[in-house]
Structure 1
């Protein structure tokens, strides 16, 4: 007979998979932005500095939100409370918009 955990979730799997997915998404955006900043730096140093000043702190904040969401999600699952809010998806969306604006700036200035 298969042992089922007490509750609707398997401890140790759902939260880790979600955290790893958010981590891959965040790292992909950060690496993409760094490559774009490198290319933009050859065209306009000022535009590259402005994009870097916005992108790098936002990337670090997203990583911090990711870790905080992971710990909060584990605690809430154990307490059978509602899962965390949407600060992390909002930060990743802002990072995506910034990546798009940086790409647009590269196309315009190039």
Structure 2
């Protein structure tokens, strides 16, 4: 008997990541449009860049969730760190790179928004 819901938990996780990425992409696209309002080329490039990065993030999330699901299923019911599962050590769990990239994108968006507000006020 597996220690997780046999199909819904990975799906819920992936859907939560998709919602987060969709919201961030839409927000960055709108912010890019306003940030480049004085320059038409920049007003087109920034939203396009936000959408492209959002699509890349969606692809990475899908592959990460599938890798986690595969690693959990390979580990068996005792979990990925158990001594009884020999296959768990052969394929480690995915790292926190996606979380780090999301935090970095959020920090970059925060800095860009701060710069935009300060430069508009001056």
TM-score when normalising by structure 2: 0.70
Runs of 4+ residues over 6 Å off in structure 1: none
Match of 2:55 among 52, 57, 60: 60
What corresponds to 1:104 in structure 2?
A: 114
Q: Unpaired segments of 5 or more residues in structure 1?
A: 1-5
Match of 2:31 among 36, 42, 46: 36
Of structures 1 and 2, the larger Rg is shown by 2
What corresponds to 1:22 in structure 2?
A: 17
Post-superposition CA distance 1:20-47 (Å, at most 9, x none) = 1111111111110011011111145687
Q: How many residues align?
A: 105
TM-score when normalising by structure 1: 0.76
Mean Cα deviation higher: 56-65 or 84-93: 56-65
What corresponds to 1:9 in structure 2?
A: 4
**Aligned alpha-carbon RMSD (Å):** 2.4
